[in-house]
């Protein structure tokens, strides 16, 4: 990322800057939390990285052979309502055996007859689990996840955390679940007033250092 910026065009023709001047890099196999107050631009930043929206300025270079998977709440709306859980997961890994598909469904808590449920009849949490199962089934090496723990119960969150800990690729995610972040990330990008601050440590390191920064600013 070099001088990355994003502004939304307003109905009156004006613009609203979300962030600007963001530079930095993400290395292979890093697991990074993107944090900041509500409205700071975290989701927009992930959308730019995932190619879901164009940056207004600056440049973004994706490495060779990087295959991106993107999760947002919008991803659940893209599921085909008439399909079953089994058919949806199988579509993501068409070469896999029935047993492999069933095992993956079971890993995300769809067991026995539950794999025959139609997407239209699932709760928000169940839809999230289906989308995450299809993402983790594919041969992706960069996951960009916007609030993947929303709608998930405690057991589902632990399953996702375990899956991401074992994931050998790179992860960038936004989540308000502190337990989840403490158990996963090794770096933190904080978006604050349109700029990005990088913390070269885990989530506990970020909490400690950001507290020190606040205390020194108010002293």
Which pLDDT score is estimated for 65?
A: 93
User: Whose structure tokens read 């989530």?
Assistant: 203
**Is there a single domain that holds both residue 211 and residue 147?**
yes
% pLDDT > 90, the chain:
82
Q: Is 75 part of any domain?
A: no
Give residue 61's pLDDT. Answer: 95
Mean pLDDT of the chain: 93
pLDDT digits (tens, 9 = 90+) for 79-88: 999 999 999 9
- Pick from 123, 138, 153: which residue ends a domain? 138
Does residue 97 sit within a domain?
Answer: yes
Alpha carbons 132 and 160: distance in angstroms, whole number: 8
Q: Are residues 134 and 188 in the same domain?
A: no
Residue 194 falls inside a structural domain = yes
Residue 22 lies in a domain: yes
Domain end position, chosen among 138, 158, 186: 138
Domain hosting 84: range is 80-138
Task: Please count the structural domains in the chain.
Answer: 2
Same domain assignment for residues 213 and 150: yes
71 lies in some domain: no
Which residues have CB under 8 Å from 83's CB, separation 6+? 91, 118, 119
15-69 pLDDT, tens digit each: 889 999 999 999 999 999 999 988 889 999 999 999 999 999 999 999 999 999 9
CATH number, residue 199: 3.40.50.300
Tell me the pLDDT tens digit for each residue of 149-203: 988 999 999 999 999 999 999 999 999 999 999 999 999 999 988 889 999 999 9
Do 61 and 96 sit in the same domain of this protein?
Answer: no
Pure H helices in the chain? 42-49, 73-77, 85-92, 98-107, 124-137, 154-166, 178-182, 203-218
Check whether residue 107 and residue 176 sit in a common domain.
no
CA distance 60 to 101: 35
Neighbours of 161 (CB within 10 A): 20
90, 57: one domain: no
Q: Quick one: 148 and 110 in the same domain?
A: no
Q: For the residues 63-80, what does the mean pLDDT come to?
A: 91
- Residue 13 in any domain: the answer is yes
More confident residue, 18 or 14: 18
Query: Would you say residue 173 lies in a domain?
Result: yes
> Are 147 and 124 in the same domain?
no
Residues 13 and 117 in one domain: no
Task: Quote the pTM value.
Answer: 0.91
Burial classification of residue 200, based on how many CB atoms lie within 10 Å of its CB (0-12 exposed, 13-18 middle, 19 or more buried): exposed
Instruction: Tell me, yes or no, whether 149 lies in a domain.
Output: yes
Does the pLDDT value for residue 136 go beyond 80? yes
Summarize pLDDT for 97-114 with one digit per residue, the tens.
999 999 999 999 999 999
In terms of domains, do 124 and 146 share one? no
pLDDT of residue 219: 61
Q: CA 43, 200, 23, 163: dihedral to nearest 10 degrees?
A: -40
Q: Are residues 126 and 159 in the same domain?
A: no
pLDDT of residue 182: 96
Same domain? For 57 and 147 the reply is yes
């Amino acid at each position: 990322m070099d001088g990355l910026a994003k502004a939304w065009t307003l109905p009156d023709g004006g613009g609203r800057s979300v962030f600007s001047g963001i530079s930095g890099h993400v290395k292979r196999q890093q697991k990074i939390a993107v944090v900041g107050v509500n409205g700071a631009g975290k989701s927009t930043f992930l959308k730019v990285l995932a190619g879901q929206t164009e940056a207004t300025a600056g440049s973004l270079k994706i490495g060779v052979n990087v295959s991106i998977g993107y999760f947002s709440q919008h991803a659940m709306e893209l599921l085909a309502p008439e399909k079953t859980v089994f058919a949806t997961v199988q579509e993501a890994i068409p070469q896999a055996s029935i047993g492999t598909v069933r095992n993956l469904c079971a890993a995300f808590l769809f067991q026995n007859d539950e794999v025959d449920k139609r997407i239209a009849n699932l709760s928000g949490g169940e839809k999230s689990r289906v989308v995450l199962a299809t993402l983790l089934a594919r041969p992706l090496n960069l996951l960009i996840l916007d609030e993947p723990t929303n709608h998930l119960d405690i057991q589902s969150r632990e399953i996702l955390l375990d899956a991401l800990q074992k994931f050998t690729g790179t992860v960038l995610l936004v989540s308000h679940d502190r337990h989840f972040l403490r158990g996963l990330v090794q770096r933190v990008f904080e978006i604050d007033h349109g700029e990005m601050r990088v913390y070269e440590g885990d989530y506990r390191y970020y909490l400690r250092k950001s507290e020190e920064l606040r205390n020194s600013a108010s002293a």
